[in-house]
Amino acid sequence: MLGKGLLKGLAETARNFVGSYIYPERLITVQYPEETLEPKENGRNFPFLVHDGIDSEDGLRCVACKICEKECPPQCIYIILERDEKGKPKKHPKVFDIDISVCMSCQICVEVCPFEAIKMDQVFELSRFDRFEGLLLHKPELSKSNEYYRSLHPSEAQEVDERLAAEKAKADAAKAKSVVAPAPASATPPQPVAGTVPSLPAVSPSSPPRTAVESGVK
């Protein structure tokens, strides 16, 4: 078993050695950080929040359902639901934090989100001097537009937009059907035709009248 793996490794090394002379582009080294490679569409690093509005607070898809917080394996997501003055929930996160020093980029939060509100970013240059507070990303830093999401994952974003549009159209159609139609005006009673006798309501039969003897009158 060990000899077979060793032979496979030597064969791969020999293939790359010969291929470097046949394909000179294999010898090109990217001078990072002055030069960088274009990231792949399926590449991912850390999550971010998607919004459909003008700024980070307008049109945020997240409704603070906390499913991603519960399903996150390293428990690096922290969410607080926003409430109004009376304590009624507003379906909007007041706090949404992700500790990227703990995040392992598993993408489970993306898979379980029912609102397509959290996606994976491709930014990897996140070095900080502060390894604690500097690596704790808050909602303003995490919120990015849907156009930014389309620039990273165009094929996936198109499928998501089509699915959300279909769901919205279906919901609008169901809402339109649920609207109660106004009750029709009461119809006027039919008028009797000239020369006919109007029918009288049926009278329930009663017992025959008693005679004077039966009633005890003398």
Q: How far apart are CA 64 and CA 108, in angstroms?
A: 16
Phi and psi angles of residue 98, each rounded to the nearest 5 degrees, phi first: -130, 125
Residues 6+ apart with CB under 8 A from 94: 64, 80, 81, 82, 83
In order of their start, the domains of the chain are 45-169 (3.30.70.3270)
Q: How far apart are CA 118 and CA 77, in angstroms?
A: 12
Q: How far apart are CA 185 and CA 182, in angstroms?
A: 9
pTM attached to this predicted model: 0.66
Tens of pLDDT, residues 70-117: 999 999 999 999 998 988 998 899 999 999 999 999 999 999 999 999
Tens of pLDDT, residues 32-69: 888 888 888 888 999 999 998 877 677 899 999 999 99
Which helix (DSSP H) or strand (DSSP E) does residue 163 occupy?
helix 154-178
